[in-house]
Amino acid sequence: MSKTYNKECSEVKEKIDTTMQLYTQAVQNRETYFLEKVENLRKSKINELNQYMNTLRGMLAGLSHISELIIHSIDSDGINLFNIKEKAKYEVNLFSAMFKNMQVKKERILYSTPNYNLINQLGHCDVQRIYPTSGQIYNSVSQQTLIPMQSLLAGQLTICPPRSIGQAIPGYRKSVSVKPTSSLRLGEPMFSFGREGPNEAEIARPWGLCVDREGNVIVADRRNDRIQIFSKDGEFKSMFGSKGDGPGQFDLPSGITTDIFDRIIVADKDNHRIQIFTMVGKYILEFGSFGKKCGEFHYPWDVATNTLGNIVVTDTRNHRIQLFTTNGTYITQYVFESLHSTTMLRGPTIPRGVSFTTFGNIVVTDFENNRIIMLDSTLSKVLHCAESEGFGTNELNRPSGVAIDDEGRIIVADSKNYRIVLFTSQLRRLSTVNFKSTDFDKDRPSDVALTMEGYLVVLFESRSFPDTAYNISTNFSPDFSCKRYIKVYS
């Protein structure tokens, strides 16, 4: 058997060597293509400038000729001088019009650097347990699936191509579609958890939550300055963080998400930075500091990731969103001061919730001006805007957190209207899920996420209404005395 393994390993090494040679050649060809393109752009621009110069020289010669003609005609009779004057006036106006139409375009030659983390996707080599049959190998590492030999040699065992650029649950291999909520009556979620308090499994004034690819619910426990992780059934699993400004410490953390690399990304709002952790809460890195420059923040509120590894951040008091690479390197930004609405705005745009759509566009909630804005993936223009302030069916009142499903639907926590609103991918309203009660008026949803089954996970910023649903802390028995921040609706 050792000879067989040695032979298989030799074949794999040969495959890897051949693959990398092909990629190396492809990269060299790409380099040649880019350099040739830059040179062609340079030549084209030089030719264009030379044409402008030749035209200007011709106009200058014409003006010089007119000047000489006028000088020589000063002593002419009145009629001849009048004709020369009119001719000169006509040609000067002609040259003026030509000059206005030949303004040089202000252009730049830019090169957009690739996402270097994609190098990790140039093939994958791994082993898994398979059952010995013809044309297949057996290994004792994993017991998950049958893997044909040719798949192992191709290096494609562990990576499932992402379904879209934005995912409901980053890195989750199945499509997640929001389910129509059947329990629309107040107080009837499937279950709830997250009692108010400072102790384990208790939370205080949370704002953001997300669901990871294992189904765990991860909450930014804002007033307790920590992150808590619950199972998909609402059972407490772990927590990390404390008050402070050091690595792994927080000052009112707000937005939270995971990425395809199994990391937790947290908007450490009042520390004006973003922190990244492993899934068990081990500190990895941070980026950002207080300020207005690119890569700096003034109260970053929410974060989102896509399958390319990019991180987008709502930089609230700087009235912009910023886009970063996986390791926090600044890419670009969109400043909302240049965005003019068709209606009178309350004040500057205050971006709060953010999410990537399935096509890679970016959806942002404008908390102050009661609208939803969709930007293109390059942060260069606005694609759609849903704006109508009020309490009616087609109106918004303090929209907060936002999520998407893998079919492109957009889910918004319409906080002061006490409801969740579903939109199409073009921001056309589909339906609503209402939470408002005549007896309890502090049940405002701040954020929303989806379980792997497509159920709504709703986070309430202030204490929610009393539970009539079963909950995990009382062995699924009705509990009318406690209030829960997190509710899951089927």
Q: Would you give the DSSP letter of residue 117? A: G
Is residue 17 over pLDDT 70? yes
User: 335 with 440, same domain?
Assistant: yes
More confident residue, 315 or 1: 315
Is residue 162 over pLDDT 60? no
């886009």: which residue's tokens? Answer: 323
Q: Are the beta carbons of 487 and 194 closer than 8 angstroms?
A: no
d(CA 255, CA 375): 19
Q: Are the beta carbons of 419 and 434 closer than 8 angstroms?
A: yes
Q: Are the beta carbons of 235 and 248 closer than 8 angstroms?
A: no
Residue 168 lies inside a defined structural domain of this protein: no
- Range 48-61 average pLDDT: 79
Per-residue pLDDT reduced to its tens digit, 105-157:
666 677 666 665 556 556 656 554 443 333 333 333 333 333 333 332 333 33
Q: Would you give the DSSP letter of residue 422? A: E
Does an H or E element contain 295, and which?
none
**Most confidently modeled of 96-105, 412-421, 434-443?**
412-421
Residue 166 lies inside a defined structural domain of this protein: no
User: 25 with 121, same domain?
Assistant: no
Give CA separation, 58 vs 93, 190, 253, 380, in Å. Answer: 15, 81, 66, 39
d(CA 304, CA 314): 9
| Domain stop point among 85, 112, 139 | 112
Residue 164 lies inside a defined structural domain of this protein: no
Does an H or E element contain 27, and which?
helix 2-72
In this prediction, residue 183 has a pLDDT band, given cuts at 50, 70 and 90, of: very low
Q: Give the torsion through C-alpha atoms of 247, 332, 221, 286, to 10 deg.
A: -10
State the pLDDT at residue 159.
Answer: 37
Is residue 274 over pLDDT 70? yes
> b/e for 416-434, b at 16 or more Cβ within 10 A?
bbbbbbbbebebebeebbe
User: 278 with 373, same domain?
Assistant: yes
First to last CA, the chain: 52
State the pLDDT at residue 338.
Answer: 53
- Quote the tokens at residue 36: 């040739």
Q: How many residues are recorded in the chain?
A: 490
Is residue 228 over pLDDT 70? yes
Residue 178 lies inside a defined structural domain of this protein: no
Backbone angles phi, psi at 132, to 5 degrees: -70, 110
Number of separate domains in the chain: 3
State the pLDDT at residue 103.
Answer: 64
Is residue 5 over pLDDT 90? no
Long-range own/partner contacts, residues 92-97 (CB < 8 A, 24 or more apart): 92/63, 92/66, 95/59, 95/62, 95/63
- Quote the tokens at residue 443: 């049940």
State the pLDDT at residue 259.
Answer: 94
Residue 179 lies inside a defined structural domain of this protein: no
State the pLDDT at residue 125.
Answer: 63
More confident residue, 11 or 299: 299
d(CA 36, CA 382): 33
Taking residue 466's Cβ as centre, other Cβ atoms within 10 Å add up to 17
Q: Give the torsion through C-alpha atoms of 363, 211, 223, 489, to 10 deg.
A: 90
Domain that holds residue 58: 2-112
Is residue 195 over pLDDT 70? yes
Backbone angles phi, psi at 489, to 5 degrees: -110, 135
User: 96 with 128, same domain?
Assistant: no
| Domain stop point among 80, 112, 144 | 112
Q: Are the beta carbons of 359 and 343 closer than 8 angstroms?
A: no
Per-residue pLDDT reduced to its tens digit, 213-223:
999 999 999 99
Question: Could you tell me the CATH number of the domain that includes residue 281?
Answer: 2.120.10.30
Is residue 267 over pLDDT 80? yes
Residue 261 lies inside a defined structural domain of this protein: yes
State the pLDDT at residue 113.
Answer: 64
In this prediction, residue 54 has a pLDDT band, given cuts at 50, 70 and 90, of: confident
Per-residue pLDDT reduced to its tens digit, 386-431:
877 778 777 899 999 999 999 999 999 998 888 899 999 999 998 8
Residue 181 lies inside a defined structural domain of this protein: no
User: 343 with 425, same domain?
Assistant: yes
Q: Are the beta carbons of 435 and 184 closer than 8 angstroms?
A: no
User: 121 with 233, same domain?
Assistant: no
Q: Which amino acid is at 273?
A: R
**Most confidently modeled of 37-51, 277-291, 435-449?**
277-291
* Angle, CA 445 vertex, CA 382 and CA 261 arms, to 5°: 65
User: 343 with 371, same domain?
Assistant: yes
- One DSSP character per residue, 425-480 reads TTS-EEEEEE---SS-----EEEEEE-TT--EEEEESSPPPBP-SBBGGGTT-B-S
Residue 231 lies inside a defined structural domain of this protein: yes
User: 460 with 341, same domain?
Assistant: yes
User: 98 with 121, same domain?
Assistant: no
In this prediction, residue 24 has a pLDDT band, given cuts at 50, 70 and 90, of: confident
User: 320 with 244, same domain?
Assistant: yes
State the pLDDT at residue 375.
Answer: 94
Per-residue pLDDT reduced to its tens digit, 330-379:
999 999 875 544 455 666 789 999 999 999 999 999 988 889 999 998 89
Classify residue 157 by burial, with Cβ atoms within 10 Å: 0-12, 13-18, 19+: middle
d(CA 256, CA 154): 36
State the pLDDT at residue 131.
Answer: 38
User: 36 with 126, same domain?
Assistant: no
In this prediction, residue 472 has a pLDDT band, given cuts at 50, 70 and 90, of: very low
Q: Would you give the DSSP letter of residue 137? A: -
State the pLDDT at residue 471.
Answer: 47
Q: Are the beta carbons of 52 and 44 closer than 8 angstroms?
A: no
User: 395 with 480, same domain?
Assistant: yes
Per-residue pLDDT reduced to its tens digit, 232-261:
999 999 999 999 999 999 999 999 999 998
Q: Average pLDDT, whole number, for the chain?
A: 80
